[in-house]
Structure 1
Amino acid sequence: MNPSASPKPIDDLGLWLAGFTQPAVLVELAALAVCVALAWGFTRVLRNALNMREEKSSVLFGQNLVDGVMFPLVLLLLAYVARTVIISFLPLAAFKLAIPVLVSLVVIRVGVKVLQAAFTTAPWVRALERTISWVAWVAMVLWVSGLLPVVLLEMEEITWKIGSTTLSLRTLLEGVITAGVVMILALWVSSAIETRLLRKATGGDLSMRKAVSNATRATLLFVGLIVALSAVGIDLTALSVFSGAIGVGIGFGLQKLASNYVSGFVILAERRLRIGDNVKVDSFEGRILDINTRYSVIRSPAGRESIVPNELMVINRVENLSSALTRVWQTSVVTVAYGSDVDLVSRLLLQAIDEQEAALKEPAPQASLSAFGANGLEFTLGYWINSGDAAVQLRLLSQINLRVLQLLVEQGIDMPYPQRVVHIKEMPALTPPPADPQAG
């Protein structure tokens, strides 16, 4: 490396710092203030025009308007326009710092917001966000100080040879950054599409949109991966060698994983099982919270969650407890003492059902003497409920049972405890055995 050819970035650092003491810097600061006001106003108007005020997870606008990507991006564009105008008649000082800071802020906002939207619960997102922030701010410091060209030239001199290809540290770093940008953009687009598709969708529509969303994300990530590998400098024709190995791996070790992914798309496409349905899978009963490409999340009424591979939802017997018509027949058994007024008991049972608004009046509820039990007369009351929610069904059953108990107690009708009658027969008196004449 020729030292005489190297740039000397910090020779004018003192002059640049001295520029902040000149009256002309006030013009730059005023221009920056105008850019901030214009960017804030434009972003707010655009947010209201797009009805994004309630979109707290929006990458473009964020929760507080200034924490999204749109505000620093618009501010950066306005700052570039102002810089172009001012540089023609004034020496720059403030804009030399403002432009790198805004570029770093845009990079951080895009990276952090996209990762938060794409991976809401992943534990490694926080560490990756801090890495992006540190890299962006270090690059900004190098840019402002003028050391960035020197660092890039030094990295260009660090090379190594892989086969017939010579790689430098600068090429590798630029390829990694390009790959990261491409992957973040792919995640951004897929997250935006998913948000639009799943907004205000329920039932079967939600399942179909979820399938489209998963397919779109997989396609964009695949395309982004291909572009990223090309940016790093990897020859894609070499990947043809691995295609056969991947096929063999799917045929042997990865067949279960591939089966789960295919099953996930089948479940979402057929729409026989939908997000929000109450199902029973392998003796576990609960509500489907989410159907991902590989597994489904089912939460029981007690709050326990089960991660069920999608293959089990396809090849095994699954009970869908949520009817398409959402009308469910519910019953309860009441035992009263023998000798009770049968007509009065029937009227009281029907009254307990009629007092509950959630129980349908048509078809009419029923209360009938169903069996002569060991402890008393058994009445079965049945009614229709227009809800497939297990929690609603359990709550209504409890309310009706409590009201039945209250009415029976008020009318003095006995609800007997389990009884058992034990008959003891008299046993004949035991006679002693005859004495042995030869004994002692």
Structure 2
Amino acid sequence: MQGETAPESETPILKECILRDGEEFCRTVSPDGMASAPAEVAADTDYLAWARPFLNDPVGWANENVLNLDILVPLSIQVGSVLLALVVGVLLAPPIRKQVLGLLERLPENIAKNVTESVPALVRPALWALFVYLALTILNTIGQESALVRIATSLALAWLLIRVVTTFLPEFVRKPLEWTIWVFAVFYAFGVLDEVLDWLSNVGPPYAGGRISPIFIVQAIATAAFFLFIANWIASRLKRRVHALPRVEPSLRILMSNAMQIGLFFGAALLTLAGLGIPLSGLAVLGGAIGVGLGFGMQQIVANFISGVILLTDRSIKPNDVIEVDDTYGVVKSLGLRYASVITRDGKEHLIPNEMLITDKVVNWSYSNKEVRVKKRLRVEYETDLRQAVDLVVEGAKDTPRVLHSPAPVCLVMEFGDEAIELEARFWINDPENGVANIASQVLLSIWDRFREAGIDIPLRHEDILITPGSTLQVEMVRPKKPSSD
């Protein structure tokens, strides 16, 4: 009817439709461009849309998704496969562990003692990972669902890898690696590992040719740890070879081993930078800045380093040498590129900078050989039979352990003093590392015993005061001051 038609002055209604994901969505648009939001667009903002079927009809959702034979049968097969793999692994672990122990006993002793306690502990997780992986392969071959078995395989492999990490790697890296492995295993099990890795790779500030992302940081740490581990392993083996060289001086062995270790670590750093794609040409500017810093702020360290190289090359001081620097007397335990370790007779270990050994006066008691002459002075009275005293001094030195008979001990008459005759005992030892003062004390005790048996006295020092006639002696009594109350 005409009354039901819209008048010409009424605003016409326009309809706009779009096709999205195979479905048609429409909305009304007025001539002035204002559009009303369709119901479908409003539905897009419902964040619980995925749970609406369960929330609206829990019983119907359960009958369709849980109590359905098409779902229960594959689920039961997967759970049974995982449980069967675990049971078989538990049953086979003891006999296989015995076989592994029997094989390890046949290895060389130095290898067997390092792996006997660690390798058997890996048998059970290795069997579980193997059988779960076999179950996953079989289910994929026959075309069955394998989502749960794939999750179990990821967790079993993660557990095996964690056992390996906690068995062979140092203590300080175990916990971080355990958490990292578990996190990546969970992501892999739920099939989102690739997306997570892509997201982590694109997070972080950019740099020339790449981005400093969490993945890049982990990769850098792993690459540096790998190359440094290889360099340290090679350096330790080369050090053992160098220290076993029979015709090389100990100081040269130390220099060669330190040079090889520094060169290997420097090569590991270059390989790490190259492996991460960092251009090495940019290191030139950094090297110049480091050189300036070394010249101004690390003069003492560089001086000690260069002094250490000089000491190791000129062989003026070697390990096991007996040296005396200032008030420090001891045996050189080791020589490094920064300091020398000297152990004194009282058990203290002094770390002496190499620069001091180059610039200060150093007494090396065993530089050319270890034979050292010790001198001790003693006094006898003028009434003493001097030749008998000399013979007794020589006998006392000869009868003392550690004193060499060749060169033989001697006793020299040094001076006819105002109060007594001064003698000097001279004797040789070839073990200065065992002490010099102690052997001198033993020799003097031996001489003292012989002097007492022969009735030879050692005079005491005295001073004579001569008072001439007519002189006066003034004596003044001084009262001591009382201490102040402050």
TM-score by length of 2: 0.66
| 1:418 match | 461
Q: In the TM superposition, what is the alpha-carbon distance from 1:181 to its structure 2 partner?
A: 2.0
Q: Which amino acid aligns with 1:137?
A: E
Contact 2:90 2:124 in 1 (8 A): no
Q: In the TM superposition, what is the alpha-carbon distance from 1:428 to its structure 2 partner?
A: 5.6
Q: Which amino acid aligns with 1:383?
A: F
Contact 1:277 1:321 in 2 (8 A): yes
Alignment of structure 1 residues 144-155 onto 2, 5 Å: 150=192, 153-155=195-197
| 2:238 match | 193
For these two proteins, the number of residue pairs brought into alignment is 382
Per mean C-alpha deviation after superposition, the further-off stretch among 27-36 and 266-275 is 27-36
Alignment of structure 1 residues 301-380 onto 2, 5 Å: 301-380=345-424
CA–CA separation in structure 1 for the residues paired with 2:240 and 2:156: 33
| 1:7 match | none
Larger Rg: 2
Q: In the TM superposition, what is the alpha-carbon distance from 1:346 to its structure 2 partner?
A: 1.6
- Can you list the C-alpha shifts for 1:120-175, whole angstroms capped at 9, x where unaligned? xxxxxxxxx42x01123324544666757756742531312324533432232122
| 1:175 match | 220
* 1:299 pairs with 2:343: yes
Q: Which amino acid aligns with 2:236?
A: S
- Structure 1 429/318 Cα, relative in aligned 2: closer, same or farther at 3 Å? closer
- Structure 1 305/28 Cα, relative in aligned 2: closer, same or farther at 3 Å? closer
CA–CA separation in structure 2 for the residues paired with 1:385 and 1:366: 13
Q: In the TM superposition, what is the alpha-carbon distance from 1:110 to its structure 2 partner?
A: 5.1
Q: In the TM superposition, what is the alpha-carbon distance from 1:318 to its structure 2 partner?
A: 2.6
Partner-residue secondary structure (3-state), 1:421: coil
Partner-residue secondary structure (3-state), 1:339: coil
TM-score by length of 1: 0.73
Q: Which amino acid aligns with 2:332?
A: I
Match of 1:162 among 206, 221, 232: 206
Q: Which amino acid aligns with 2:290?
A: I
Q: Which amino acid aligns with 2:310?
A: V
Contact 2:303 2:355 in 1 (8 A): yes
Partner-residue secondary structure (3-state), 2:384: coil
- Structure 1 167/385 Cα, relative in aligned 2: closer, same or farther at 3 Å? closer
* 1:41 pairs with 2:105: yes
Mark the runs of 5 or more structure 1 residues left unpaired by the alignment: 1-10, 53-59, 113-128, 431-440
Contact 1:194 1:213 in 2 (8 A): yes
Contact 1:367 1:381 in 2 (8 A): yes
Alignment of structure 1 residues 25-424 onto 2, 5 Å: 25-38=90-103, 40-42=104-106, 45-47=107-109, 52=110, 65-66=114-115, 72=119, 100=158, 103-108=161-166, 111-112=169-170, 129-130=171-172, 132-142=173-183, 150=192, 153-158=195-200, 159-164=203-208, 165-198=210-243, 205-389=249-433, 391-424=434-467
| 1:8 match | none
- Structure 1 77/174 Cα, relative in aligned 2: closer, same or farther at 3 Å? farther
Structure of higher RCO (CA pairs closer than 8 Å, 6+ residues apart):
1
Per mean C-alpha deviation after superposition, the further-off stretch among 169-178 and 269-278 is 169-178
Contact 2:319 2:333 in 1 (8 A): yes
Mark the runs of 5 or more structure 2 residues left unpaired by the alignment: 1-74, 139-148, 474-486
CA–CA separation in structure 1 for the residues paired with 2:91 and 2:187: 24
CA–CA separation in structure 2 for the residues paired with 1:142 and 1:14: 23
Contact 2:342 2:351 in 1 (8 A): yes
CA–CA separation in structure 1 for the residues paired with 2:341 and 2:423: 39
Q: In the TM superposition, what is the alpha-carbon distance from 1:329 to its structure 2 partner?
A: 1.2
